[in-house]
Structure 1
Amino acid sequence: MSPYFPLLRRAMALCALLVVTACTSTRPPEGITPVSPFDVQRYAGRWYEVARLDHSFERGMSDVTATYQLQSDGSVRVLNRGFDSAKNDWRQAVGKALFTGDASTASLKVSFFGPFYGGYHVAALDADYQWALVVGPDRGYCWILSRSKQLTPAVREQLAARAQALGIDAQSLIWVTHDRTDPQP
């Protein structure tokens, strides 16, 4: 076997990922209306991932947070962090989000891979910006975020029902634990 085979295999996997990411829509799924009016300055800051649908890029992770920081050019810096139990270490990804239209509508496109973007649509938002229901480019991507590590059972049930009403498989939501203290502020 060629000594370059592992490198070639990684390069091919990265290319495949980029192609799939490039094909990802930045529009909200049909029937899902992003929150409007929306205030990105109020949305900025740290959010705890309370629930999510399973995807390979977060599989096995706990203590997941997303921190959004408005940039001077109108973009939003995205920092996702979580604890990878298989590696027994913290992982993070830094991305960039841009509004897909008017900044008063919570419909953005997010990229962690250069010029390739995927949709990020806030489908429900607490009036005080304490929780959010976010849908990705299709109904296979869903996150429930909170300013605190846990939501009350009533709010959890309300958001799961809201997700189900939007056509999301709420029975498949993974409820994320937050038992560790992130070493980064």
Structure 2
Amino acid sequence: MRFLLVLLAPLVLAACANSGTGSVPPKTVDKVNLERYQGTWYELARLPMFFQRNCAQSEAHYDLRDDGTVGVLNRCRSAEGGWQEAQGTAVPQVQGKTDKLWVSFDNWFSTLLPGVSKGEYWVLYLDDDYTTAVVGSPDYEYLWILSRTPEVTESVRDNLVDVAHGRGYDTSKLIWRTPDSKMPAE
């Protein structure tokens, strides 16, 4: 039991540190049509985070279910070319609002501590065609710049970075997707 408490202490301390900062959460979009949002999104860039530390390329697959939840399949490809997957579920944080979601993954941690292991997925920007998006967490720790295609033009890329920066995220730390041409053959 003591080992488990030591293991979980950093999570509890991080939650306490973020809860009292008084910082203003980022602005989200007004509404997300989850039917249009479903499908494949490629990660163009992200802020550094432990659970994606070995990812050279990442993608997310969203599937709207009949009960209104969203099935999530995240895939991560390492620089060596191997893929890892994580499956989960996303649900609105507030019934009827689709800009802020809770995401939980099917793993040992979420089974052990179901209320603690869910993450916040806030849609900060979404273009009218549902082809690019900026998603983050309200504590500014997590940020993903997403597209329906693995590559975008420089002007689209610059616009997405400007949006993220304008929402208060430190875009100087972004980790960009490794181009397919620099990845080993599958």
Partner of 2:171: 170
Partner of 2:8: 16
Gaps of 5+ in 2: none
Gaps of 5+ in 1: 1-7
For residues 89-104 of structure 1, the aligned pairs below 5 Å read 89-104=82-97
SS in 1 for 2:172: helix
Partner of 1:110: 103
SS in 1 for 2:134: strand
Label 1:13 to 1:156 Cα distance change in 2 as closer, same or farther (>3 A). Answer: farther
Label 1:127 to 1:55 Cα distance change in 2 as closer, same or farther (>3 A). Answer: same
Superimposed CA distance per residue, residues 37-71 of structure 1 (whole angstroms, 9 cap, x where no aligned partner): 32000000000000000111101212210001111
Q: Letter of the 1:48 partner, please give it.
A: Y
Partner of 1:147: 148
Contact map agreement 2:59 2:76 (CA 8 A) in 1: yes
Moved over 4 A (4+): 17-20, 22-25, 180-183
Label 1:97 to 1:146 Cα distance change in 2 as closer, same or farther (>3 A). Answer: same
Whether 1:135 aligns to 2:136 is yes
Contact map agreement 1:34 1:106 (CA 8 A) in 2: yes
Contact map agreement 1:118 1:137 (CA 8 A) in 2: no
Number of residue pairs the alignment of both structures matches:
171
Partner of 1:3: none
SS in 2 for 1:57: helix
TM-score normalised per structure 2:
0.79
Instruction: For residue 16 of structure 1, report the CA deviation from its aligned partner.
Output: 2.1
Q: 2: CA distance between counterparts of 1:174 and 1:103?
A: 33
TM-score normalised per structure 1:
0.79
For residues 14-163 of structure 1, the aligned pairs below 5 Å read 16=8, 20=12, 23=15, 30-85=24-79, 88-112=81-105, 113-114=110-111, 115=114, 116-163=117-164
Q: In angstroms, what is the RMSD of aligned CA positions?
A: 3.0
Q: 1: CA distance between counterparts of 2:45 and 2:65?
A: 27
Contact map agreement 1:35 1:105 (CA 8 A) in 2: no
Instruction: For residue 166 of structure 1, report the CA deviation from its aligned partner.
Output: 1.3
Label 1:14 to 1:70 Cα distance change in 2 as closer, same or farther (>3 A). Answer: farther
Q: Letter of the 2:72 partner, please give it.
A: V
Superimposed CA distance per residue, residues 84-143 of structure 1 (whole angstroms, 9 cap, x where no aligned partner): 236x52101111110012444311010112423111000000100000000124111000
SS in 2 for 1:54: coil
Superimposed CA distance per residue, residues 133-181 of structure 1 (whole angstroms, 9 cap, x where no aligned partner): 0012411100000000011111111111111111100011111124159
